Amino acid sequence: MRMRIRTDISFLVAWCILQLASLPVAADSNWPQFRGPSGRGISEEVLPQTWNLERGENVRWQTPIPGLGHASPIIWSNRVYVATAVRPGAKSELKTGIYGAGESYVEKEPHQWRLLCLDLADGTVLWDQLAHEAVPRQQRHTKASHCNSTPATDGQHLVAILGSEGLFGFDLEGRRIWRRDLGKMDAGPWDVPDLQWSFASSPILYDGRVFVQCDVLSEQFLAAYDVTDGREVWRTPRKEVANWCTPALALNEGQIVLNGWKEVAGYDLKNGKRLWWLGGGGDIPVPAPLVVDGMAFFTSAHGKYRPLRAVRLDARGDVTPPRVEDTNAAVVWCHPRLGSYMQTPIVIGSNLWSCDWQGVLTCGDASTGKLHYSERLGTGGQGFTASPIAAKGRLYFADEGGRVYVVAAQEKFEVLATNQLGDACLATPAASGGTLLFRTPEKVVAFSAKP
């Protein structure tokens, strides 16, 4: 009799666990775009501090992903969406690490751009849809892919920029609804236009509109499209160089803000009118702006300057200071040599963290720019491309070699743990439902703190 009771209880417990795993994720824990809600990279949930792939510690699941892509996973409810570019019959090469060469891979074979949907609970592939097939219109950098841009969703629609092939709209089963050709999309350095490095800016979805920053060599513009049919709502030309920045929304100020070299600027969200702007900085901008409490933080690198600076969003007109290092009523503070080449900064509480591509992590006061520390993660030489995310007093920084440094979100430098992903990592992680997701060139790995 006791044995039967124990068996019944065990079955009941197992059944309850399965039911809990299948419950919808709370709306406020969705991760719907690049760097999650509002693009700030912050999860409000408890994420694991340590894991071990070999022993399976805190490893929830691992799911292989075909092809090559640096697009981050996004999450809505119990579903994980991943975009990738597949070269049928061949494996795409990838060269990581710190190097100065700007060569491209010439791939004239047809590629398949695919959308995959995974179950957040166990990583099962729910569907794998062919979104587009063609020979890539542009080449890619040896460290890039033909699918660098992270998709976005509002829980009803799914939008994605698929390499140089344009902007696409899908339903939540991956069925293609519309496509917009964004032009040549020749992304490469302004001073060596023969080099092609592939597109990387991610779309932002809000209030039925898709916002796209399309700064390439042949044309530069910000545009808004209708999410239901891809119809262009407005377009604003920009005077800019090619860059790889994703825009950010400042909803309280009614703005969309863009990073750049010649035109860091804020635009009216309704009609695209430019409200304020400033120039100067690194001439190969990559990081997205970060909007927090009426200010936007910008960083860029390459060339003479690599500034990290804060700008008030109530600014109007040209607010460019005489020198990059100068401040004024709009530019609250600036560190001309502490900026990041690849990573977007992150703000938690009153402090801001910024990590450069060699792993030098800077922490300072977000409102004043006063520095607390500047320390190195790792030993140097690994390369840091993926932007950080944070949760419950911890920051997660992944280098290109697949080492993840968990740093305490405090004014004193402290590395809480160093974990391994077992492969390269250039995609920014995602988090939802107490689960931390990393994308490597071969798979998506999910970690969660087990009770």
Query: pLDDT at residue 20 above 50?
Result: no
CB-CB neighbours of 394 under 10 Å: 19
Confidence of residue 101 (pLDDT cuts 50, 70, 90): confident
pLDDT digits (tens, 9 = 90+) for 392-432: 999 999 999 999 999 999 999 999 999 999 999 999 999 99
C-alpha–C-alpha distance, residues 426 and 140, integer Å: 15
Q: Which residues contact 383 (CB under 8 A, 6 or more apart)?
A: 96, 97, 98, 357, 358, 399, 400, 401
C-alpha–C-alpha distance, residues 170 and 269, integer Å: 23
Query: pLDDT at residue 10 above 80?
Result: no
Sequence-ordered strand ranges (E) for 166-284: 167-170, 176-180, 204-206, 209-215, 220-226, 232-237, 248-250, 255-258, 264-268, 274-278
Query: pLDDT at residue 11 above 50?
Result: no
Mean pLDDT (whole number) for 36-60 = 97
Which pLDDT does position 104 carry in this prediction? 95
pLDDT digits (tens, 9 = 90+) for 63-90: 999 999 999 999 999 999 999 999 999 9
Query: pLDDT at residue 314 above 70?
Result: yes
C-alpha–C-alpha distance, residues 103 and 140, integer Å: 8
pLDDT digits (tens, 9 = 90+) for 334-367: 999 999 999 999 999 999 999 999 999 999 999 9
Query: pLDDT at residue 23 above 90?
Result: no
Which pLDDT does position 2 carry in this prediction? 44
Q: Is the dihedral of CA 187, 33, 151, 101 positive or negative?
A: positive
Which pLDDT does position 381 carry in this prediction? 81
Mean pLDDT (whole number) for 265-292 = 97
Q: Which residues contact 85 (CB under 8 A, 6 or more apart)?
A: 67, 68, 69, 92, 111, 112, 113, 114, 136, 145, 146, 147, 162, 163
Query: pLDDT at residue 8 above 90?
Result: no
Q: Is the dihedral of CA 143, 138, 222, 191 positive or negative?
A: positive
Strand 140-141 to 152-153 pairing? unpaired
- Of 439, 354, 337, 427, the C-alpha closest to 144 is 427
What tokens appear for 65 in the block?
A: 């992903």
Which pLDDT does position 25 carry in this prediction? 43
Which pLDDT does position 3 carry in this prediction? 43
Output the average pLDDT for the chain: 93
Mean pLDDT (whole number) for 114-137 = 98
Confidence of residue 22 (pLDDT cuts 50, 70, 90): very low
Which pLDDT does position 28 carry in this prediction? 54
C-alpha–C-alpha distance, residues 269 and 225, integer Å: 12
Which pLDDT does position 226 carry in this prediction? 98
CA atoms within 13 A on the CB side of 415: 14
Output the DSSP codes for 344-388: --EEETTEEEEE-TT-EEEEEETTT--EEEEEESSSS-S---SPP
Confidence of residue 449 (pLDDT cuts 50, 70, 90): confident
CA angle (385, 391, 394) in 5-degree steps:
75
Which pLDDT does position 380 carry in this prediction? 81
Q: Name the residue with higher pLDDT: 14 or 223.
A: 223
Which pLDDT does position 382 carry in this prediction? 86
pLDDT digits (tens, 9 = 90+) for 229-277: 999 999 999 999 999 999 999 999 999 999 999 999 999 999 999 999 9
Confidence of residue 191 (pLDDT cuts 50, 70, 90): very high
Mean pLDDT (whole number) for 22-45 = 81
Which pLDDT does position 259 carry in this prediction? 98
What tokens appear for 19 in the block?
A: 């039911």
Q: 142 and 95 in contact (C-beta within 8 Å)?
A: yes
Strand 443-448 to 59-64 pairing? antiparallel
pLDDT digits (tens, 9 = 90+) for 129-174: 999 999 999 999 999 999 999 999 999 999 999 999 999 999 999 9
Helix (H, G, I), strand (E, B) or coil at 7: helix
Query: pLDDT at residue 215 above 60?
Result: yes
